[in-house]
Structure formats: structure tokens, C-alpha cells
A and B are shown apart, each in its own frame.
Chain A
Amino acid sequence: MSFPRLLPAVLVGVLAASVPCVCQAQDDTQKEVERYRQLLAEGNPADLFEAKGEELWKTPRGPRKASLEQCDLGLGAGVVKGAFARLPRYSADTDRVQDLESRIVTCMVTLQGFKQEDITKNPFSAPGRPSDLEALASYVAGESKGMKLAAPLDHPKEMEAFRIGERLFYRRAGPHDFACVSCHGENGKRIRLQELPKLTDPNDARKIFTSWPAYRVSQGTVRTMQHRLYDCYWQMRHPQMDYTSEASIALQVFMAKYAKGGEIRAPGLKR
């Protein structure tokens, strides 16, 4: 696919053309990045992942040769529409709080007979190795497009997850003393040219939390919220976070509280 590879070059061109005056550079750059996003949003490559995910969802697969159509994503077996807007949430059958990806994995294990360790060994795609989970997550998320996020925070385990997520958000560690809040605690900040959402500000959280999974232009594929968190911890000089780990879900419960009411725009489009 030469199309996604071409895009970063176009972006560099747009940026280079936008800085006649240093004092204006920041605002102009931001505007150009926004314009570039709008141009791309009209043809988001994530559409292809949604279509592939829907096909995977409805095709009998795995040792049990079953489809995922009877998967219970929290709104009852077989209900995909609107399910993503109510995640993460407590699931009685697993007795834990689950996010979109961990719930899809549960269904792949229980309905299709896949082995958990096989599915979660390489959950993120790499060149030449596509990821079913990226496509499935795109499809399910896309089925809540336009709805308002309303992840529940009622069950004691959901409330516990929130408090754990909150604690981890502020937890500083490692050789760089980084915590999530190091980058996501103030409005209007950037790392290099990338704007950073303040995740405890509903205005920022509503826009950001509801736009993952997203097609990442720089990576030429859809990345999920699990990948976003894994990537943050990479940057924070932490070890790789386990896929669908309890901490990864607790952090999402924490973020979802501030993002409540945000309109689902997933799968989104990102740098």
C-alpha cells in the first residue's frame, strides 16, 4: 500500500509551507494538522478494517467453527449496536471489569474455542502480520458511531477499577519519573507537534477516549486503546504492558468517567 506511506511526506510538506513567522508557527502548524485531518476523514482507511472486522465477526471460525454473532458484549447475546458505548463494564460471567478488547477475546475463547494465549500473543499487527483483533475492535466500535459514551460506574468492581485507575494515572516510576499525568495533566500542551489531551478534563476526554480504535497514518494500520496504552508505557520507559491486563482496564474506567457523554467517533483517524 503506497497510499499510507505517501501521507507522512504530504504532511511534512504542509507543515514546512506553514511557517513564515516563528511566532505564528505553533498556531499555523496546528491549523494545518487540523485541515489535513479533515481532508483524510472523508476517506478514513479504517473503513476497510471495519468491513474486514464485520466479516470476521460473522464467519464461523476457530476449533468450534462458530461465528461471534452470539457474543454478549454487555447488552445481551447478539447485540453489537451500542455495546461499545457502554464499555468498559463489569461482566458477571467472568466476574471482572472488561474493555472492548478483553470482551472480544472472551467471546473468541468461549464461543469459538480459541486459546487465550494464542490470541493475545501478538495482538497488535506488524508488517506482514495483520491482527484480527484490530479489525474486530474497529467493527464493534463503529457500531456505536454517533452514540454518547455511557460506561457504567455502579458495580463495586467498576468503582474499585476506577480508584485503581486513578491511582495508576498519577503513579510516577522508572528512570524518567513519568506518570500518565506527566503528559495528560494540563490543557493545551504538546509533545513535539502532537497535542496532548488533559484526560481529567471532560472537554478533552470526550473527544479523545471516543476516537479509539483509530487508523494511525504513521503506522498504516488501525491501533486500539490497548495499543495506545502500551505505547504510552513504552514512551514512559516502563516494560510492555500485558494485553487486556487489569491495569489497562482500570485506566480506561478512569478515563471513561471523564469522557462520559462524548460522541463515539471510532474508528477515528490519527497521526
Chain B
Amino acid sequence: MKRLASLTLLALAACASGPSDDEMRDDEMRQRAEQVFRESFTRGNPVIRARVEQQDDVQALCTRYRNDPPKDVAAKIESEQAASIRYPAPGHFLGDWRRGEKIAQDGYGMRFTDPDTKRPNGGGCYNCHRIAPAEISYGTVGPSLYRFGALRGTGEAVQRYVFGKIYNSQATTACSNMPRFGHNGVLTEEQIKDLVALLLDPASPVNQ
């Protein structure tokens, strides 16, 4: 009887404020999973370890909502991520499409077997996207970008959009699968401009 009374109290307390039992169990499980994660990657480079152990807010939210956040959460992620993009000066969005093609092919960088931190990181774009038609070994996780400029236009507004998309994909699509290449320091501004050229330069094979 005493137990029943305390259970009722607990239930009342849960109704009044604070997390529900389910939420508490969720939180416990989350903490337990985080502990298991930390204890399962003990041998690697401490810098890489620290970076994957500590999720940023966006990573934590996308994990929690399994990449399908409610509308208000998605809107908040998108506006905050959009505000953090550092654009080049107007009129300076287009780099060199030939260098862009190399970056799109290259998957080098930030893996635990990539010891040369002076060598620039690749974008690995072909892993997920169809881009120039000569490359038939392309992935399909992301949409085809073949003829992107020919279809969408190549003006400054599109250049700015593409730069922003590569810099921080979650500025337009919260919890997108695509890495935030600029935001996370994977690619430099120059490299992203070269990729913008690959998609939008009228001379690029993408638009032939």
C-alpha cells in the first residue's frame, strides 16, 4: 500500500513537471550507449577520438531524431547553420573546374590511415553523386549533379547557393546525409570554389 502511494506520487510528479519515465529510460540508455561508444574506441589518435566522442548540437539532434527532426527543430538547425556560412566576396564564387574534378574524385583525408595531414583533403563527391559523364563509377546516395549548371543556370545566385550547399548542407536541409564540408573544416574555401566551378562553369564537362 505504501508502495502504491509512492508510485502514485511519482506519477503525479511526472505529470506536474520533469521528464516522464520513458524519457528517463531514454536518457539512461543514451548515456549508457555513449559510455559503450567511448569504451569501444580506446586505441586511436586522441584528437580524432575526442572529436567523435563529443557530438556538436546538430549531430546530437540528428542522432536523437534519426535524421527526421520535427519542423521547429529543423527550422532552428537550418537558420543557425545558414548564419554560420562564410561566403567569399561577391563575384568570387567560381574556381577552377579542373581542380574541382580532382577534389571530387579524391577521398583522401581524416581516416586513421591518412597520416599526411599536409596533403589536402578530398571531397569524395563521386562516392555519392553522378557528376561529369566520363566517370561511370559514381554513387547514388545523393542526387545526380550531371548537367547541374545547364539545368539550373550559372548566375551568381546559383553560385552562391552551390557554395553554401557544399559549405554547410544543413543550412538548407536539416540532418542531410551530406557532410558539412566547409563548416567542419574538411574542405577549404578555395576547394569549395573549385567544386562550384565543376558544377557551374559552362566549360566544365558537367555542362557539356
Asked if B44 and A176 sit within 8 Å, CB to CB, the answer is no
Residues of chain B within 8 A of A167, CB atoms compared: 29-30, 33, 63
A175 with B51: in contact, given A240-B41, A247-B37 (CB under 8 Å)? yes
Roughly how many angstroms separate A235 CA and B185 CA in the complex, as a whole number?
Answer: 17
Which residue on B lies nearest to A239, using beta carbons? Answer: B44
Q: Indicate whether B179 reaches chain A with its CB closer than 8 angstroms.
A: yes
Residues of chain A within 8 A of B37, CB atoms compared: 168, 171, 247
Q: How many residues from A make CB contacts under 8 Å with B?
A: 48
Q: How many residues from B make CB contacts under 8 Å with A?
A: 45
Taking the closest CB of chain A, its distance from the CB of B145, in whole angstroms, is 14
Q: Indicate whether B6 reaches chain A with its CB closer than 8 angstroms.
A: no
Which residue on A lies nearest to B48, using beta carbons? Answer: A239
Q: What 1/0 flags go to B132-149 for Cβ under 8 Å of A?
A: 010011111100000000
Residues of chain B within 8 A of A178, CB atoms compared: 179
Asked if A177 and B42 sit within 8 Å, CB to CB, the answer is no
Binding site for A on B (CB under 8 A): 29-30, 32-33, 36-37, 39-45, 48-49, 51-53, 55, 58-59, 62-63, 66-67, 110-113, 126-128, 133, 136-141, 177, 179-180, 184-186
7 residue pairs from A and B, CB less than 8 Å apart = A22-B133, A167-B63, A170-B66, A192-B139, A237-B111, A238-B44, A245-B40
State the majority secondary structure of interface residues on A: mixed
A175 with B186: in contact, given A163-B29, A192-B127 (CB under 8 Å)? yes
Residues of chain A within 8 A of B63, CB atoms compared: 167, 170-172, 179
Roughly how many angstroms separate A47 CA and B166 CA in the complex, as a whole number?
Answer: 46
Asked if A172 and B55 sit within 8 Å, CB to CB, the answer is yes
Which residue on A lies nearest to B185, using beta carbons? Answer: A175
Which one of A170, A175, A192, A234 contacts B67 once the chains associate, using CB atoms below 8 Å?
A170
Q: Indicate whether A10 reaches chain B with its CB closer than 8 angstroms.
A: no
Roughly how many angstroms separate A178 CA and B110 CA in the complex, as a whole number?
Answer: 13
Taking the closest CB of chain A, its distance from the CB of B135, in whole angstroms, is 9
Asked if B36 and A172 sit within 8 Å, CB to CB, the answer is no
Q: Indicate whether A190 reaches chain B with its CB closer than 8 angstroms.
A: yes
Q: What 1/0 flags go to A148-178 for Cβ under 8 Å of B?
A: 0000000000001001100110111111111
